[in-house]
A = this chain, B = another copy of it.
Amino acid sequence: MTMTEETEGSAAGLAEANLHAFAELLFFAYRDFTGDPDAILKDFGFGRAHHRVLHFVNRHSGLRVADLLDILNITKQSLSRVLKQLIDQGYITQKAGAADRRQRLLYPTDRGKALAKRLAAPQLVRLRAALAAAGPEAETAIRRFLEAMINAEDRPKVSAITTPAALQADRNDEGKPS
């Protein structure tokens, strides 16, 4: 307050300094969110890229390579490098699609599931604590916030992924708890 400047405060016209603070908080939050698994990954000779691939294959098993490329927004050559390592080292397996045998559907092995779980654990702890800290009512608001941060054209795709038992619907397979 006081100060010169426009000092706004309405929901739609938030003070610019405030928005900058959110930008920085998001940066630090993401930095630390990825920090825990990064440390574990080093013990396996893997990097964050492996984590991302393993995560999505584990959480959405049976997805196609093209799905993964679409989700990660990287080239197939980039994906290829890490995916190959994960397959070679027995964390992920491929299976030809039933309807279209050109497709290589990706599945986590038991080993892959175990690693995915281990990598996710500290992140889930962190998220649980952060959501608790935000307050009981906050969950919906935070979800809406994060969804609105995503490019509008990608939101349907992301919703399909992050909403219980979608995506899988058209590719059958499980919505099994764990």
Contacts and interface: CB of A to CB of B under 8 A. Distances in A.
A26 B143 CA distance: 9
Contacts of A144: 133-135, 138
A98 interface: no
Contacts of A161: 24
Interface residues of A, number: 66
- How many copies of this chain sit in the oligomeric assembly? 2
A31 interface: yes
Interface stretch (A8-16, A81-89, A106-114): A8-16
Contact of A131 (B11, B32, B35, B158): B11
A23 B120 contact: yes
Contact of A163 (B21, B143, B163): B21
A145 interface: yes
A75 interface: no
A154 interface: yes
A56 B137 CA distance: 33
A61 B21 CA distance: 15
